């Protein structure tokens, strides 16, 4: 990531302009970045460090950013890579789901048709934030990330492909697998509460 | 099912959208699947806690870059 940023300068901002770009293009996204960091690390201090590292990198490599392009996607990409490279290894949170195992299990893009009966509309409306949050947090990081990017932040397939550095086809299949798992988790919760 | 996923992700084009809405009028499985998925998406947006970045962090970051 860092090498790539250094190799691709798109702009040459004078010093005063750098701060202007930073304030106007990067700072407005800081709440989103903090939320993303928290959903990856589950820890306030780690989230602060991760956001700070992201913004420091964004400033250091600001010439790789072209004003008026998608700053939010660029920042997400930096944060995601910082997380993978620097934080994932020391993360206090053990990996709850083995990605390979899950990927093999859900190796079809098609959703099993009977999966829809696991969860009905009338059960989801009674769910509270904690249950939703626990279900999302229990997803493997790769799956959690696509749900956050698509459903919470509204990124397109193309933007997600750039942020995650994977082909659009992989974005799609990963997203749909993530949705299947999330629905199942919410479905088992609904079931445990006596629904269905 | 492919189009259903595109619809959920707001990535379907006009023709796909038209096909989809026509289809779910006749297919109860896709209709209920679509509604459940939409509902989950709404829940995620509405019920997940949104944290504000700690003010001192934003100030620290800003101070570091102008140093």
Condensed to tens digits (0 to 9), the pLDDT of residues A133-175 reads: 888 999 999 999 999 999 999 999 999 999 999 999 999 999 9
The domain segmentation of chain B, as residue ranges, is 2-66
Q: Do B5 and A109 touch (CB under 8 A)?
A: yes
Encode chain B (67 residues) as per-residue pLDDT tens digits: 688 989 988 899 999 999 999 999 999 888 988 888 888 888 888 888 788 899 999 999 999 988 7
Query: What pLDDT digit, counting tens, does each position of A107-120 carry?
Result: 444 444 444 445 66
Given A87, A108, A131, the domain boundary residue is: A87
Q: Tell me whether A193 touches chain B (CB under 8 Å).
A: no
Tell me which residue range forms the domain holding A18. 2-87
In a domain, residue A22? The reply is yes
Tell me the torsion sign for CA atoms B1, A160, B61, A11. Answer: negative
Put simply, whether B18 touches A (Cβ < 8 Å) is no
Residues A81 and A126 in one domain: no
Q: A122 pLDDT band (50/70/90 cuts)?
A: low
- Does A92 fall in a domain? no
Contact criterion met (CB < 8 Å) for A151 and B66 = no
Residue A44, domain member (yes or no): yes
Alpha-carbon span A27 to B4, nearest angstrom = 36
In chain B, whose CA is at the least distance from the CA of A179?
B37
Residues A124, A187 within the same domain = yes
Q: State the best of B29, B34, B48, B66 to mutate against chain A, taking most chain A CBs within 10 Å.
A: B48
A94 falls within a domain: no
| Residue A170, C-beta contacts closer than 8 angstroms, at least 6 positions apart | A161
How many Å apart are CA B2 and CA B4, to the nearest integer? 5
Whether residue A117 sits in one domain with residue A48:
no
Q: ipTM more than 0.90?
A: no
Q: B28 and chain A: CB distance < 8 Å anywhere?
A: no
CATH number of residue A184's parent domain: 1.10.10.10
Helices and strands (H, E) in chain A, number of each type: 11, 0
Total domains present in chain A: 2
Among B43, B53, B64, beta carbon nearest to A30: B53
Which residues of chain A are within 8 Å of residue B12 when distances are taken between CB atoms?
Answer: none
Residue A171, judged by CB atoms within 10 A of its CB (0-12, 13-18, 19+), counts as buried
Contact yes or no for B58/A30 (Cβ under 8 A): yes
* Closest CB to A110 among B1, B39, B62: B1
The CATH number for A11's domain is: 1.10.1740.10
pLDDT tens digits along A32-72: 999 999 999 989 999 999 999 999 999 999 999 988 889 99
Angstrom distance (rounded) from CA B31 to CA B10: 16
Alpha-carbon span A181 to B7, nearest angstrom: 19
Residue at A112 is within a domain:
yes
């Amino acid at each position: 990531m860092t090498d790539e940023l250094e190799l691709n300068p798109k702009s040459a901002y004078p010093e005063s302009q750098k701060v202007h770009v930073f304030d106007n293009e990067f700072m407005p996204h800081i709440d989103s970045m903090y939320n993303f960091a928290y959903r990856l690390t589950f820890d306030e201090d780690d989230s602060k460090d991760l956001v700070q590292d992201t913004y420091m990198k964004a400033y250091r490599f600001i010439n790789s950013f072209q004003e008026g392009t998608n700053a939010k996607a660029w920042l997400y990409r930096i944060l995601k890579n910082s997380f993978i490279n620097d934080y994932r290894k020391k993360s206090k949170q053990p990996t709850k789901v083995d990605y390979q195992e899950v990927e093999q299990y859900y190796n079809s893009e098609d959703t099993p048709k009977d999966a829809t009966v696991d969860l009905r509309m009338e059960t989801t409306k009674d769910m509270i934030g904690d249950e939703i949050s626990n279900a999302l947090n229990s997803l493997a990081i790769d799956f959690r990330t696509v749900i956050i990017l698509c459903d919470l932040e509204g990124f397109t397939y193309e933007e997600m492909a750039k942020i995650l550095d994977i082909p659009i086809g992989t974005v799609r299949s990963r997203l749909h697998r993530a949705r299947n798992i999330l629905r199942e988790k919410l479905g088992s919760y609904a079931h445990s509460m006596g629904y269905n | 099912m492919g189009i259903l996923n595109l619809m959920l992700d707001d990535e379907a084009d006009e023709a796909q959208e038209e096909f989809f809405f026509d289809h779910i009028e006749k297919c109860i499985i896709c209709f209920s699947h679509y509604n459940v998925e939409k509902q989950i998406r709404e829940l995620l947006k509405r019920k997940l806690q949104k944290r504000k970045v700690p003010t001192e962090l934003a100030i620290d970051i800003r101070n570091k870059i102008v140093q």
